[in-house]
Structure 1
Amino acid sequence: MINNVATWFELPVIDMPRAQGFYRNILNASFKEEEMSGYQMAIFDSEEGAVSGMLILGAHYQPSATGAVVYFNGGADLNEPLAKVEANGGSVLMPKTPIHDGECGYFAMLLDSEGNRVGLYSQA
């Protein structure tokens, strides 16, 4: 078992189809849809043992631009997913930015279609 600091995340959504479309188009994500106790859930498909999470719609869940930030794998070049953000209802808060002159990779910040602040990370 891999000893990850984080093991799961939940991103609140207002419109589940719109949110799934956003992450499908930006990250090529796919989902397993479930419902439990009145909550709609879309669980990100991931490899066995990898940290994953879900989009969730229901009482007590509100998107936030000021809370904790989840960083997604931005692939080989962050410019590719960033170029799709605005067309899919989001906005770029911080463009591709080097970490320690690029020695530790690159990150970017955005608001998703639901108003959640999320990050992207890539090695190049």
Structure 2
Amino acid sequence: MLHQAPLVWGEIAVENMDRAVEFYGKHFGVSFKREVMNDMEMAILETKDKEAASIGLVKHEMMKPSAHGSVLYLHLSETLSPLVESITQAGVKVLLPIMAIKEGECGFIALFEDSEGNTVGLWSKDK
């Protein structure tokens, strides 16, 4: 058994960095620090805990947005219903409405399509 959480970093592929940063900022109230590493354009999610696992939006020729790849689940709200309702009203395509995991024992999830065509998940302990 691992002694720590295995996830340390996640990347979401983007075609248009400005559009992606605006999408996540507008719908989820998050901010990003933008930078370029070698030839990779990145926007790193800003968090108070610098040691916490995080994500970055990444634009690079090796990375292509996809609705059919790995799915990252983001914990961006204490309760999921208001957040999913808000993005639905804003016209964001919800792919999977809120669903309980083990009857809510392990929280709740929903899936949406981001501005780049990626399937991204939302998770919260409370519906």
TM, length-normalised to structure 2: 0.87
Q: How far 1:15 sits from its partner (Å)?
A: 1.0
Deviates more, 1:74-83 or 1:7-16: 74-83
Cα gap change, 1:21/1:83 in structure 2, threshold over 3 Å: closer, same or farther?
farther
Q: Which runs of 5+ in 2 are unaligned?
A: none
Q: Which residue of 2 aligns with 1:35?
A: 36
Q: Alignment length, in residue pairs?
A: 123
Cα gap change, 1:22/1:88 in structure 2, threshold over 3 Å: closer, same or farther?
farther
Q: Does the CA-based 8 Å contact 1:112-1:118 persist in structure 2?
A: yes
Q: Does the CA-based 8 Å contact 1:70-1:119 persist in structure 2?
A: yes
Task: From 42, 59, 62, give the equivalent of 2:61.
Answer: 59
Q: Distance in 2 between matches of 1:109 and 1:25?
A: 17
Q: How far 1:49 sits from its partner (Å)?
A: 1.6
TM, length-normalised to structure 1: 0.89
SS, match of residue 97 in structure 2: strand
Report the aligned-residue RMSD: 1.7
Cα deviation, 1:56-106, whole Å, max 9, x if unaligned, reads: 112111001111110000312212222343566631001111112112211
Q: Distance in 1 between matches of 2:17 and 2:90?
A: 14
Q: Does the CA-based 8 Å contact 1:42-1:56 persist in structure 2?
A: yes
Q: Percent identity?
A: 37
1:115 and 2:117 matched:
yes
Task: From 65, 72, 75, give the equivalent of 1:73.
Answer: 75
